[in-house]
Structure 1
C-alpha cells in the first residue's frame, strides 16, 4: 500500500503524462489503476480530490481541456474523473461513458457516490447499463464498499438485480466467487450459502483446494454443522489448516473418531491440535505419553520425532538429560532444535562450549535457541566466553553476542548497549541507542570502570551520557574525556 505522498506523486506524474500524451507512462498508470484493490482505489480517489496548500495532485483545472480529455487513452479521462473540480469530473465522466475499458468501469463506479448530483446521476445510469458479468468483475467490488456510505449506497442492490435479471442469480454469484477481489469473493461465498445456491456437497468439494482463510472458515462451519461424522473426519482431520484439524477433533467425540487419525494428530505441528488429540486419546482409554515415547525413539522422520519429544514435555514427562544432550548433538536439524528447547533450565557448565558453537550456527533458529539457553543460565559462562562472538567479522554474530550479553540484565545490559554503539555496522550500532538504566542499585567496581571507558569514548549524546553517569554514580564523562585527552 502506497503512502499518501507516494499516491500524490504518482497522480502528479500521471497528470503530466496525460498533458504530454506520454503513451508509456499512461500505460503504466492504466495498469496501476486497474490492478489496485477497490479499497486502495477509493483511497487514491480521496487523495486526488483532497485540497492541499500546494494545489491539486492532478494539477490545475485549466489544464484539463477538452483536447486533453479527447485522448484515445481512457486513463486520461479516468484521471480527470478523480479531479477535485466538479466541472472537470463531469466532462471526464461524459467521456468515460464512451469507453468500455476496465479502468472506465472502476472510475465510473466510484463516481456513483459523487456529491455533485449531475455527476452521480450520469455515473449511476451508465453503471446500471453495464450489467454484464465482464463489467461486474470491475464494478461490484467498488459498489460493495460504497454500499456502506450515505451517497450511492443503493446502487449495489440495483446493479445486482439487473445482473440477476440478465444471467440468473446462480450464474452471477458463481462468477463473483471467482473474483480477484478477496473481500467480494468472501461475500459471494457467504451469500451463496445463505441463499441455498451452494450446499454441503459444494463445501466438501471446495474445501481441500481453498486457500483463503475466511472462505475456508465458512466452509468449515458448513461442514461441521451438516456433515456426517465420517465426512467431517475425512475432510477436516486431513485439512491443510490447523484450524480445520482442531475443529474436527472438537466436533467429533472419541467414539466417532478413528484411533489411527487421533494417533497421527498427537504429533501434529499445531499445539492446539496436539492438545485436543491428547484429550480424545485419553477418552479412548490410552496414554498419550506412551505414544510420544515410542515415536520419539523410533525411526520416524526427524521432524515427527522432534514433535514427539515436544509432546512428551506437554504431558509432563521428564526426559533424561543424557538423552537431551544426544539430541543437541544430533545430525538432524529438527532433533537439534528439539534438544536445545529441552535444554532450557537444564544446561550445565560442560554444555557451554557447544552452546556457543550453536550460537554461531548458520541456522538462525538453532542460534536463537542456543542463545536462549545461555541467556537463561548466565551463571554458567563469563564475558570472556562471549568475546570471540563479539569480535566476529559477521555483523549477525555480533548481534547475537549483544543479545546474549544484554540478557544478563542490570548494568551489564547497559554496558552491552554502549559497546554496540561502537560497532562499525551502522544498522547494528542503532540497536544500542536506548539503554534502560537499572534502578535502586549501582554497578560493581569493574562495571564502573567499563562504563567510564565507554562513556568517555562515546558516541552517545551528552544528555544520555550524563543520565548514565548520574545513575551509576560516576563523574561527568566530559571531564573524564578531557582527562583522557590530556
Structure 2
C-alpha cells in the first residue's frame, strides 16, 4: 500500500476516542516522514489538517500516550515536516519548543496549523516562541493563513490561552493589501472559515460580491451576514434595484434583510406582495407594509385561502391574523388534495392550540410523509387519549418509515412502560435514524430506572405487571445485539424489582 494512501485511510478511519486508530494514524504519518519525499509529507499533513478537530485530539493523544521512555523521541536534525508536526505535540516542552523553532526557520502553509496549536501551549516558553513567530510570519507572508490554519485557530479560540492566533489572523484581513487572502478564505470549503473572513472584510467588499455570497453560499449564516452588509450598502447608496433582486432570493434570511432595506428606503408597496411568503417573519413585515399602504391583511388572507390553489403562506398568515375565529375555514382545508397545504394547515392549527383530534388522527396514515409528521406533532398533547392499538400498528408498519416514526413519537408520550417497550422495539428498525433514536432512548430510560448507590435520587417505577415485564425482557433479548449486553443486563435487574416477578 502507498504510504500516502495509508495516511488517508488512517485519517478517514480515525475516531477521537479510539486510541488504536490514533496509534495507526501516528504510525502512518511517521512512515511518510521516514520513506516519503517532502511533497509526500506536506500532502499527508494536508490530509490531517482537513479535520482540525481530529488534529486537536491527536495533539492531546500524543502528549498523553507518547511520554513513556520506551517511546522513540522524534529526531529534529532532519527537518521533515511530518516529524516536526509530531514532535510539536511531544510531552516534553523542550522538544516542542525545538520543533516550533524549526517550523519557524522553514515556514510552510502545511505546518502552520501545528504552529497555531502551540500558540495556546501551557508552557510559557513554547507559547511565547510560537506567538512571536506566528505574528512575524503573517506580517511577512499573509498567504500563510490557509483555511486549515484559520479553522484550527477558530477551534483553539475557545481555550483559555487560544485568543492570540485568532486575533493575529484577523490582522492581514483588515488591511487592504491582502485581497488574495480574502478571496481564498471566502471560497474555503469550511463554513466557519468563510464566516470568519466575511466578518473581517464585509465592510470593504463591493455590492456585487456581497450579493453573490448572499445568493449562492451554501451556509445560512454566511448568506445572512452577506445580505445584511449588502442591504446596508444599498440603503446608503439608494440602490433599490439590488434590494429587489435580493428580495427574490429563495432563502428567507436573504429576503427578510432585503425587504427590511426596502422599507427603510420608503418603498412599503414593494413589500406588500410578500404577505403570502412561507416565512412568518417576512409575513409580519409585509403586514406592516400593508398597513402603511392601506391594505387589509386579514381580508387578503381570507380570500387567499379560499382560492382554488391556496398559498401555504396565506394559511399561516390567516392563523396569525384571524386567530381561532377562522379555525373552521382552516379545518376545511385538511381535505385539500395538495399535501403541502394539508401540512401547513396542521401547523397552523397547532400554533392556535386547536386540534380536531379525530380528524387529525385520520391523517396519521396520509400518503404524504410531511403530513404524517405534522399530524403526529399536532397530536402529541393528546397522545395518551389515542387508541394504543393504532399506535402499535403504526410502529410496526412494514412499508413506511414516516408512519413508524410518527407512531414512535406518540408512544413515547404515554406511560413509562409503553415508552420503554416502544424504544426497545424501535431499536431494531430497518430505518437507521429511527433505530438510533430507539437505541438511545431505550438505554436512557433503562438507566433512569436503575438505582445508583452514590446518587441519592428516587428511582421511578416502571409501572408494569409480571406478564408485561416478561414480555419486555423477551423483546430486549431479541434486540441484544443493538442494545448491547450491558443494557440488557441492567434491564434484567430492573425487571426483577417488578412486584410479582421471579
TM-score per shorter chain, which class?
A: 0.5 to 0.7
Contact preservation (8 Å) 2:249, 2:255: yes
Moved more, 99-108 or 116-125: 116-125
Alignment of 1:33 onto 2:48: yes
1:380 and 1:45 map into 2 onto residues whose CA distance is: 54
1:150 and 1:423 map into 2 onto residues whose CA distance is: 48
1:126 and 1:355 map into 2 onto residues whose CA distance is: 62
Alignment of 1:313 onto 2:319: yes
1:424 and 1:151 map into 2 onto residues whose CA distance is: 44
Give the paired residue count: 433
2:322 and 2:345 map into 1 onto residues whose CA distance is: 16
Give SS of 1:286's match: coil
Give SS of 1:315's match: helix
Residue of 277, 284, 298 corresponding to 2:307: 298
Contact preservation (8 Å) 2:207, 2:230: yes
Contact preservation (8 Å) 1:340, 1:369: yes
2:383 and 2:318 map into 1 onto residues whose CA distance is: 27
Contact preservation (8 Å) 1:340, 1:373: yes
Partner of 1:64: 74
RMSD: 4.9
Return the offset for 1:377.
5.3
Alignment of 1:414 onto 2:408: no
Give SS of 2:322's match: coil
1:151 and 1:456 map into 2 onto residues whose CA distance is: 55
CA pair 333-92 structure 1, distance change in 2 beyond 3 A:
same
Contact preservation (8 Å) 1:78, 1:92: yes
Contact preservation (8 Å) 1:78, 1:103: no
Give SS of 1:307's match: helix
Partner of 1:473: none
CA pair 85-241 structure 1, distance change in 2 beyond 3 A:
same
Alignment of 1:105 onto 2:112: yes
2:199 and 2:148 map into 1 onto residues whose CA distance is: 19
Partner of 2:266: 256
Contact preservation (8 Å) 1:420, 1:431: no
Alignment of 1:10 onto 2:12: no
Return the offset for 1:64.
1.9
Residue of 334, 344, 349 corresponding to 1:338: 344
Partner of 2:3: none
1:367 and 1:324 map into 2 onto residues whose CA distance is: 16
1:182 and 1:348 map into 2 onto residues whose CA distance is: 43
Residue of 172, 177, 192 corresponding to 1:171: 177
Stretches of structure 2 that go unaligned for 5 or more consecutive residues are 1-10, 429-434, 450-462, 474-490
Q: Superposition pairs for residues 207-246 of structure 1, below 5 Å?
A: 207-212=214-219, 213-214=221-222, 216-217=224-225, 220-221=228-229, 223-224=231-232, 226-228=236-238, 230=240, 233-246=243-256
Moved more, 222-231 or 307-316: 222-231
1:390 and 1:203 map into 2 onto residues whose CA distance is: 48
2:127 and 2:357 map into 1 onto residues whose CA distance is: 77
Q: C-alpha offsets along residues 311-338 of structure 1, whole Å, 9 cap, x if unaligned?
A: 212111644748734x434432212313
Return the offset for 1:75.
1.7
Partner of 2:454: none
Contact preservation (8 Å) 2:280, 2:316: no
CA pair 279-128 structure 1, distance change in 2 beyond 3 A:
same
Return the offset for 1:270.
1.3
1:316 and 1:192 map into 2 onto residues whose CA distance is: 45
Give SS of 1:56's match: coil
Return the offset for 1:65.
3.3
Give SS of 2:337's match: coil
Give SS of 1:269's match: coil
Return the offset for 1:274.
0.9
Partner of 1:444: none
Contact preservation (8 Å) 2:327, 2:349: no
Partner of 1:80: 87
2:393 and 2:126 map into 1 onto residues whose CA distance is: 75
Q: Superposition pairs for residues 293-442 of structure 1, below 5 Å?
A: 293-298=302-307, 305-316=311-322, 318-319=325-326, 321=328, 324-325=331-332, 327-341=333-347, 345=354, 347=356, 349=358, 351=359, 354-358=362-366, 361=367, 363-375=368-380, 382-386=387-391, 388-389=393-394, 392-393=397-398, 396=401, 397-398=403-404, 400-407=406-413, 409=414, 413-417=415-419, 419-420=421-422, 423=425, 425-426=427-428, 427=435, 428=438, 431=441, 434=445
Partner of 1:441: none
Q: Which has the larger radius of gyration?
A: 1
Q: Superposition pairs for residues 263-282 of structure 1, below 5 Å?
A: 263=273, 265-282=274-291
